[in-house]
Each structure stands twice: as C-alpha cells, then as structure tokens.
Copies of this chain bind each other. A is one copy, B any other.
Amino acid sequence: MLVVMKHNASEEDISGVVGTIKEMGYDARPIPGGPRTAVGLVGNDGRADAGRLQGLSGVLEVIPVTQAYKQVSREWREEDTLVTLPNGTVIGGRDLVMMAGPCAVEGERQIIEVAHVVREMGATILRGGAFKPRTSPYSFQGLGLDGLRFLARAREESGMVVVTEALDPDGVDLVAEYADIIQIGARNMQNYPLLRRAGRSGKPVLLKRGMAATIEEWLLAAEYLLAEGNHDVILCERGVRSFAKHTRNLLDLAAIPVVRSLSHLPIIVDPSHGTGLRSKVIPMGRAAVAAGADGLMIEVHLDPPHAMSDGAQSLYPEQFGELMDQIRVIAKAIGRDVTAPLEAVSPV
C-alpha cells in the first residue's frame, strides 16, 4: 500500500501517516520524491485497511499495491487448476469443454431430448436452470425441485454431467444432491452466505462474473470459495454492464488472458448471456475460444420461439453444430482441442 502525500504535506502529516501505519501493525517507509513524498506500507498481509489512512491530514490518495486475494492467485499456485468431473470431463486442461442446454428446464422430456442432441454434437456438460433468478417477480421462476429431478434423469440417460444454479444457502445443499457443478449466477457473485455454503458443498462451483464486477472483485468472490476449502472453482465471463446497448451485456473477452495471468483457475465464457442475441452467439463463441477460453456455456433449445425464458438468445441445434465445427478448427490454431464427444449411454 502506498500513501501519496499532498505537495504541501507537512513533516507532521508524514509522521502522522507513519504513526498510523505502525499502529496498524505494519512497517512504514517514507519515499521522498521530487514534487511530493509517498509513504510505503510494508508487510501488508492483504488485511491492511486503506480507510484508516485515506482521511488523514496531508494524504492525497492511498494506492493498493498488494492484491487482496491469495489462494486464487498464480503467485499462490503456479500450475493450472484442473477440475475433473464424474463423466471424465476435465475443465482447465488442454481440451476445451462444452456446456450446453436450455436456459430453463421446462419438462422431463424437453431436457432429456436436448441432452441427447447436444451430447451427439460434442457437449459433455448439460446446463439448464431449475431455480431461475428473474428481474420481475411476475416472470417464470423455474420448476424448482422437479427441475432438479429432470436434470438428474437427463444425466442418467445421456452420460453428461449437470450444471445448474443455486439461489440461496439452503438451495446449495439441494442442488448439490442432484447436480455435478453448482452455478453461482451473476446477480449473486457477492452473495457471501451463498458463496460460503457453496464453498462447503463438496461440489465444483461455476462462478459467473457479476454485471459490474472488476476482475479483482471476481477473484475475491472466488477466494470465498477457496477459503472454505473448495478448490474446484470455474470462472465464467458472461458480459458486463456498459453504456452501449447493442448487445444485452458487453462481453469482456480480454478478461480471459487477464485472469489467466493472475489466477490458476479455469475460465469459460457464456456468449448467450454475453450478447443476448442468437445471431451474435456463434461469432462471440468463436472469439472466446480464440482468446483462450477453457470452454463455452451455450444456450440451446429445440424450439427457441417457444422457450419459457431467453428464447431470443438460444441457438437452434444445427447452429450449435456449426459452432462446434468452427471451434474445432480455431482450437488447433492455439494448440488445443475440443473434448471428444461422449459415447451414447447404453440402456440397461
């Protein structure tokens, strides 16, 4: 932490800052410069509170230097984290993983059919919401427990593993019973009781980036999971808020190489929510792979015009197939591959 003093800060001001830093339990190192002095706070363990220094007399600004996150950082762990799932899919390795399925589980038959379709095209992880966070209280809120049961059934029939969202701490336990990956949605990225419970769930967690979250805040949210002992965390970029409204969100693909350099956690991209427009999902899915994503999460619906939510951003199955074909070529350009398709599950 660096405390930058005002041009006209007095010796007394500087002593005040040095004294406060010592009182906080750290070392202070004044750095006299040309036009102004700065005081370094040395030995910061990530808990030093800038607030105690910001308001002091003569202080211009306090600049954080040490990152507040620890276990998620590449400095803590150099090698990439690999998340291995029950059906053998590995997230974060050389091969890209594909998660696909409808926005919401709408019925048993619907989810089983779509599972078969996307599995054949190369997806190994089935997505589908049972609990839907909706902006309006009057919108369809998901099938709840029934949705979870249908997902479990689709897994059994297709051999895919399942990712689905939990909305509150008790929901985490429920989702953990039925699913293979617990999703934390963008709106809940800083819902700390939810993160804590997911951190103790024993299941991998997919953590979506919040709509206005910086990379540091996102990594700190992941830190909540690791701090509870859960190291199987997958980050998911899904677009951020912006002044521009030509897409539903502004997909921040540069987050991929940035996260890669700061953290060992795998990162995937959701171009469906990232654009909100079916016709933009394929180009942005390709772009995400080219930028180095470890996988994609894609909304696919057998009949998008009749989807109960997010129909406008759901791909038709043949579009999903087209995307798969294209990313297989693109992955090669950077020495990667797409996970091999699962074999069909033989009926017992």
Binding site for B on A (CB under 8 A): 2, 4, 6-8, 20, 29, 31-36, 38, 40, 42-47, 49-56, 63, 65-66, 68-70, 75, 133-139, 167-171, 187-188, 190-194, 211-212, 214-215, 217, 220, 223-224, 227, 240-247, 250-258, 261, 274-275, 277-280, 283-284, 286-292, 304-314, 326-327, 329-330, 332-334
Contacts and interface: CB of A to CB of B under 8 A. Distances in A.
Given A244-B214, A283-B290, A283-B291, A55 B311 contact: yes
A289 B326 CA distance: 13
Contacts of A333: 286, 326-327, 329-330
Contact of A214 (B167, B246, B257): B246
Given A52-B311, A275-B254, A288 B287 contact: yes
Given A135-B220, A167-B193, A287-B288, A31 B34 contact: no
A300 to B, nearest CB: 13
9 contacts: A6-B75, A29-B31, A32-B42, A51-B310, A137-B224, A243-B243, A257-B283, A286-B333, A290-B291
Nearest to A305: B52
Contacts of A334: 286, 326
Contacts of A167: 191-193
Contact of A254 (B284, B289, B308): B284
A227 B137 contact: yes
Nearest to A191: B191
Contacts of A261: 279
B211 A212 contact: yes
A141 to B, nearest CB: 8
A49 B309 contact: yes
B243 A257 contact: no
A220 B137 contact: yes
Contact of A135 (B51, B217, B227): B217
Given A212-B211, A253-B287, A55 B8 contact: no
Nearest to A224: B137
Nearest to A196: B137
Contact of A253 (B38, B44, B69, B253): B253
A47 B242 contact: no
Contact of A191 (B188, B291, B312): B188
A277 B61 CA distance: 10
Nearest to A291: B287
A17 to B, nearest CB: 11
A134 B192 contact: yes
A34 B38 contact: no
